[in-house]
Amino acid sequence: MSKGSHNVLEVCNSRYQEIYGNYNISMNKKIVVSHFGEFSQDLVNSISNGVEEAMLDAGDKKGSVKRMFSILVEGLQNIRLHGEKDEDGNQASFLLIGQDENEYLVTLANLVFNSNKKVIQDRLLEINSYDAKQVKSLYMEVLTNGIISNKGGAGLGFITMAMKSKNKLNFNMQDINDSLSCFSIEIKIDR
């Protein structure tokens, strides 16, 4: 491993540890899922299905279960499609889900090129500035004009997360080096 990418993984991992500690200790939440590293397609499926089952067993409202499933599928597929890699080809990314009696907090993170930071930030700030009606209007606009890219995505991911969460999307960009940052997004789901 070159020194450069040791640093990329380290920075991303320390962000992961920071959020883990924040959920677990500061916020006194139970950690339901924690994964650092790449997400295979099978892992995406098993996490989504596994959390769905666990929530149903816990007696969570059906609406909350479906919203969580949707957020996990959208979020983890986003990571697979858009998460950048470090110099050694590691797609450094992570997922954390913290739970208490009132809510679930889901943090998803992946590497992004610094040249893409502004587009992502502007998009999220835009979505966060809208009320539910405006988000729905944006959704209809993207749906009507939507194109599916060759990668397979279609630009509705963040909008869908905002609609499912019914809360603002918290996000953070942590600079790592000249080309990469660690982008994390936190979604709250009421139980």
Partner 1 sequence: MSSLHIEEGKNTPKVNWDIDSEIMDMSGKSFPENTKKFYNQLTDWLDSQKLTGKKTFEFHFYYLSSSSIIAVYQILKRLETASDNGASIIVNWKYDDGDDDIQRIGLDYEKITSLTIIHKAVDRV
Region near partner 1 per CB under 8 A, out of 20-28, 70-78, 90-98, 99-107: 70-78
Work out how close the CB of 62 gets to partner 1 at its nearest, in angstroms, rounded to a whole number: 8
Q: Is position 91 an interface residue for partner 1 (rule: CB under 8 A)? A: no
User: Encoding tokens for residue 119?
Assistant: 């587009």
Q: Is position 143 an interface residue for partner 1 (rule: CB under 8 A)? A: yes
CA dihedral 103, 119, 129, 11 (to 10 degrees): 40
Question: Rounded to an integer, what distance in angstroms lies between the CA atom of residue 9 and that of residue 169?
Answer: 25
Work out how close the CB of 22 gets to partner 1 at its nearest, in angstroms, rounded to a whole number: 29
Q: Measured over all CA atoms, what is the biggest interatomic distance in the chain, rounded to whole angstroms?
A: 49
Rule CB under 8 A: choose which of 64, 77, 90, 177 binds partner 1.
77
* 115 or 149: CB nearest partner 1: 149
Radius of gyration of the chain (CA): 16
Q: How many DSSP H helices and E strands does the chain contain? A: 6, 5
What are the residues binding partner 1 (CB under 8 A)?
41, 44-45, 62-63, 66, 69-70, 73-74, 77, 80-81, 140, 142-144, 146-154, 156-157, 159-160
